[in-house]
Structure 1
Amino acid sequence: MSDFLKHECGIAAVRLRKPLAYYLDRYGSCLWGFNKLFLLMEKQHNRGQDGTGIGCVKLDMPLGQPYVQRRRGIEKDALARIFQKEVKSFHKMARKGILDPKDPASVKERYDFGGEILVGHLRYGTSGEFDEGSCHPYLRRSNWPTRTLMVMGNFNMTNAGELNQVLIERGQHPVFGTDTQTVLEEIGYHLDEAHTDLYRKLRDAGVDGREMPARISAELDVPRLVGESAQPWDGGYAICGVVGNGDMFVMRDPRGIRPCHMLVTDEVIAFASERVPLMTVFEASADQVKSVDPGSIITIKADGSYSDSAFSPPQRYTPCSFEKIYFSRGNDPQIYRERKAMGAALVSQVVDSIDGSFDKAVFSFIPNTAETAYYGLMDGLRLYRRQEVRSEILKAVDAGNLTADKLDELILRNWPRGEKLAHKDIKMRTFISQEKGRDQLVSHVYDITYGIVKPDDVLVALDDSIVRGTTLKKSILKILARTEPRKIVICSTAPQIRYPDCYGIDMADIGQFIAFQAAVALHRKAGRQSLLDRIYDECREEMKKPAEERRNRVQGVYSDFTDEEVSAEISRMVYPESIDWSGEVQVIFQTIENLRASIKGDCGDWYFTGDYPTPGGYAMVNNAYIRWYEGVGGRSYDLPL
């Protein structure tokens, strides 16, 4: 994706099903689970590089012994640094005789991460100020293990303001106003209530105090209390939590917006945001890794038994399509096929853009993440050309003029030509404060291969998606123009991004979207400012309605234009300025129909269509327009809706 987007977040969890002695005997290390956690997180490093956190809960620790630990960091390469520090600490303790690495009991007692439950989180800081305290997992401590709670997740709640207000009305005192804290405190509240009810019941039944922790732990109904906590949540989420007694749960939102996968073997129960890391790290086959069902809670009790229970009635399944387009790593076999299909689905538009003249066209891709879709585009173009050649050969045979020269002309000439043209040279950082300086930096993010494109060629470059168009205008098109083609065609495997996201992608300010800017420009050129004013009034009226009755009034911004008209205006708006080149620029977008046909099964497409899966989405999109119209901008779900 040329316009870089941040995405919240990645989770990994390892629950050992055997004592540490088993892993020492079989694998030669008591830290087998800890090492697997690191690998799971490293294989998902694409999902978050601003902050990292890990946690551990130990089972059946003697009274007075620590049973829960956590580390977090936001420094550069925090993931590697945290694990390196912990491994060094382990070996240092071994050298000093503080622990015996060959004695599982010693490792469990002395080493902070020598436990059976290990969790990790990777985060992009997409909300407000970001520091170590913003990193997951969040921890709620108590001197009762059955009231201690550690929570992490990949989520965003659209109604975080309302949820925090519930805490206040309940008499609690939220320290920050984030959805993460809301989730932690809401589950913690129900955990406290369940614990207190059990304690009083057992006390009144005459149970001895020393037996109380084990009895409460055994009777604690984690699926019920977590399910009750989740009832008011509006958003997309995959959340993992661990109670201090060793009960663990993983839950996924009822519409499956955020991904979560699970592997169960005799040795381990593991979870991750992506499927392939589980396959690779644990050498598992694809059919062994299952998606956690939307609206379900996987619960693993301290005794190792686990269950799968629903906390919500079935909802329309709308998994985030950006996982397929961009976020998830492309080595997942299904995602690989789907990305190739997205590229192939652009063939007819691409052929039209080059007027069918393959001998005067060069095909390439821009960011490395678009490479897989590029293979699909090239396969599709070659298939298209083969069909053309076959038809022409048959015509020549029927006419009786098929010669060797004619065959050479049909087969060897006018064939799709792919080249590696754009290279992302280094990761530029906008440390220069002046706007002009930043623009100069952006213009050097990519470099090109010279001498490939001829002056009468059309250069076709594939991108994952086009959000803001900033990098396209200020960097990519300027660089591609140096090759001096007569025309540059930019193809997006995603449709036009018209509406903000509120479920975990850093894409919330509608005024930054190039598609929205283009539609607004078209209205103003046509003298229809009054329509934009009317939509503002409609959005304000929508915000007065109950959440379940709200509609997306922002769709009216686009209703007067075809996709092609908006694309043409985008092509005009991203044309590179202040360069010595007079060629043509055309921007092509995937159609919604082709995106749906390319993705196997259902897909959430609210950023393209405005069809949000939850009531909070409709509140957010109307609020986004209001903030744009009033010149406020920013994230449209930072304030109570």
Structure 2
Amino acid sequence: MLTTNPFDLPDANGDKLREECGIFGASGSEGAAALVALGLHALQHRGQEAAGITSFDGAEFHTHRAMGHVAGNFDSPAIIGQLRGNVACGHVRYSTTGETALRNVQPLYADLASGGFAIAHNGNISNAMRLRRDLVRRGSIFQSTSDTETIIHLVATSNYRTFVDKFIDALKRVEGAYSLIVMTPEGMIACRDPLGIRPLVMGKLDDAIIFASETVALDVVGATFVRSIDPGELVIVKGSEVSSHRPFAPTEPRPCIFEYVYFSRPDSISEDRSVYTVRKEIGAQLAIESPVDADLVIPVPDSGTPAAIGYAQQSGIPFELGIIRSHYVGRTFIQPNNEVRHLGVKLKHNANRALIKGKRVVLIDDSIVRGTTSLKIVQMMRDAGAAEVHMRIASPPTRHSCFYGVDTPERGKLLAANMNIDEMNSYIQADSLAFVSIDGLYKALGEANRSDTRPSHCDACFTGDYPTMLTDHDDVASVDQFALLAERVS
């Protein structure tokens, strides 16, 4: 019997870290908006809440933004026809800051003294609240609750003369993670934060320059991969001219390691590594570190599949599809009461009963966040007649919140922040539970282990080792501590 607990969520999809956002830009392509729409289709997994495209025809900017998926909002020839011009950028969104509302859907657009300015952002500005307060005191009027709008106001109020210098000035005042595609009447700019936490790549399609969050979007539109945008680099495209600028002091990059675990599509290449191959290697490391005597290796689809293949190949235990996923269940399914809500997972996943009955199974998933889905899937295996159910997770325990563009629950709602492994195993009611180690995760990337002095990736959600300042978080914590002290004094 499932009972209410502090980790419950209102829907069956809430036990995953939500993808951040996806961005795509094209410069120098006739009918650029249609190309951007196609690229956004390939990035839909990164944000399924809303989508938007802005184009420029040499005289005017044109924008269409909508709640929901790319399909249905950008399939109409009439809508694409309104987005005229050979320069365009687009965005798929899952909100990590700001409310779910059309005013927060990107690209955001503003008329500045220098002309039109459109921006699409993947990431999170970790000092946006403090910057926003300062800007409002100085007279700025915000039209959204998105952290991205902070960049627009910083550009608008910069004292530098040229737009590029204003933009660089703005970026030097923000903290956190960002990959940006910006459009102005003069051209397109693509850039990454100095640590390269969020991904961004460049490609070429005939004479057009393409930017995208992942290489899979280049593949889908038929573009050739050129290279990744380097951490801290600005690439400026003006007509047929492409130039690179590096305004930040060089530092060792820290790209997000969770791109390999879950966020990126497995057919993407990230930092010169195949995401699919890395996920298989994570599964192999998991089999080496946490073997189990079992009959079947079963992935929790779809994100657990490559790691399950790696686990099966390393262990010699047969790989089977013991859970069948429905691909026709949206995130907005209405669940009117608790009883129906708890059945929601069965709409998305169902046990392959004939395969599972009487078998000792190893379930492979990419992560455990609150643990509610793991609990339900373990129970699903038992209901299907599994003799034993062992859970293996292709990432270390998620013990810390992310502040860089991933919608992580507050730390108090993360299962691994509140329980040790044995307690987590008891909670999900498995026969055993194990996670790949942090060193095992780095070995899957081809590194000997994680460096304690300077790790090569941002792994803060596992280790708590945040690579940047967290000004807004620290401000809130200070206010909370002051309020607690005041309460004690009174």
TM-score, length of structure 2 as denominator length: 0.86
Aligned to 1:71: 64
Distance in 2 between residues matched to 1:68 and 1:127, nearest whole Å: 26
Aligned to 2:265: 329
Aligned to 1:88: 78
Question: Given residue 219 of structure 2, which amino acid in structure 1 is its aligned partner?
Answer: M
Aligned to 1:591: 437
Cα distance per residue 1:361-409 (max 9 Å; x no partner): 2211112121111111112113xxxxxxxxxxxxxxxxxxxxxxxxxxx
TM-score, length of structure 1 as denominator length: 0.67
Question: Given residue 97 of structure 2, which amino acid in structure 1 is its aligned partner?
Answer: S
Cα 1:307–1:488 change in 2 (3 A) is same
Are 2:200 and 2:213, in contact at CA under 8 Å, matched by a contact in 1? yes
Aligned to 1:15: 27
Are 1:297 and 1:308, in contact at CA under 8 Å, matched by a contact in 2? yes
Distance in 1 between residues matched to 2:266 and 2:182, nearest whole Å: 28
Distance in 1 between residues matched to 2:303 and 2:439, nearest whole Å: 22
Cα 1:293–1:606 change in 2 (3 A) is same
**Aligned pair partner of 1:513 in 407, 414, 420:** 414
Distance in 2 between residues matched to 1:166 and 1:309, nearest whole Å: 29
Structure 1 position 625, deviation (Å): 13
Aligned to 2:226: 289
- Secondary structure of the 2:75 match is helix
- Secondary structure of the 2:304 match is helix
Distance in 1 between residues matched to 2:309 and 2:54, nearest whole Å: 40
Are 1:3 and 1:466, in contact at CA under 8 Å, matched by a contact in 2? yes
Structure 1 position 10, deviation (Å): 0.4
- Structure 2: unaligned runs, 5 residues or longer: 1-12, 448-455, 485-490
Are 1:158 and 1:620, in contact at CA under 8 Å, matched by a contact in 2? no
Moved more, 173-182 or 588-597: 173-182
Report whether the alignment pairs 1:121 with 2:114.
Answer: no
Aligned to 2:103: 133
Question: Given residue 309 of structure 2, which amino acid in structure 1 is its aligned partner?
Answer: Y
Structure 1 position 5, deviation (Å): 2.8
Cα distance per residue 1:147-176 (max 9 Å; x no partner): 321111102111111110221243323344
Cα distance per residue 1:45-69 (max 9 Å; x no partner): 111111010001122x4xxxxx111
Report whether the alignment pairs 1:238 with 2:139.
Answer: no
Aligned to 1:150: 118
Cα distance per residue 1:17-37 (max 9 Å; x no partner): 7xx5xxxxxxxxxx3x33321
Indicate the RMSD between aligned Cα atoms, in angstroms: 2.6
Are 1:147 and 1:188, in contact at CA under 8 Å, matched by a contact in 2? no
Structure 1 position 281, deviation (Å): 1.5
Question: Given residue 281 of structure 1, which amino acid in structure 2 is its aligned partner?
Answer: V
Distance in 2 between residues matched to 1:444 and 1:14, nearest whole Å: 38
Structure 1 position 432, deviation (Å): 2.8
Quote the sequence identity (%). Answer: 25
Aligned to 2:288: 348
Structure 1 position 573, deviation (Å): 1.5
Are 2:22 and 2:213, in contact at CA under 8 Å, matched by a contact in 1? yes
**Aligned pair partner of 2:395 in 478, 494, 507:** 494
Per residue, is there more strand in 1 or in 2?
A: 2
- Secondary structure of the 1:80 match is coil
Cα distance per residue 1:195-234 (max 9 Å; x no partner): xx5xxxxxxxxxxxxxxxxxxxxxxx44322111111211
- Structure 1: unaligned runs, 5 residues or longer: 21-30, 62-66, 91-110, 198-220, 355-359, 383-415, 519-565, 576-583, 631-641
Question: Given residue 336 of structure 1, which amino acid in structure 2 is its aligned partner?
Answer: Y
Are 2:205 and 2:222, in contact at CA under 8 Å, matched by a contact in 1? no
Distance in 2 between residues matched to 1:6 and 1:173, nearest whole Å: 30
Per residue, is there more helix in 1 or in 2?
A: 1
Count of matched residue pairs: 457
Structure 1 position 283, deviation (Å): 4.3
Aligned to 2:149: 181
Cα distance per residue 1:292-342 (max 9 Å; x no partner): 0111111123x4322111121122311111111111110125111101100
Superposed counterparts of 1:299-448, under 5 Å: 299-301=236-238, 303-332=239-268, 334-351=274-291, 353-354=292-293, 360-382=294-316, 416-425=317-326, 427=329, 429=332, 431-448=334-351
Cα 1:617–1:480 change in 2 (3 A) is farther
Cα 1:229–1:291 change in 2 (3 A) is same
- Secondary structure of the 1:81 match is coil
Distance in 2 between residues matched to 1:235 and 1:417, nearest whole Å: 43
Question: Given residue 192 of structure 2, which amino acid in structure 1 is its aligned partner?
Answer: R
Greater C-alpha Rg: 1
Structure 1 position 434, deviation (Å): 2.8
Aligned to 1:580: none
Distance in 2 between residues matched to 1:260 and 1:378, nearest whole Å: 33
Distance in 2 between residues matched to 1:500 and 1:270, nearest whole Å: 32
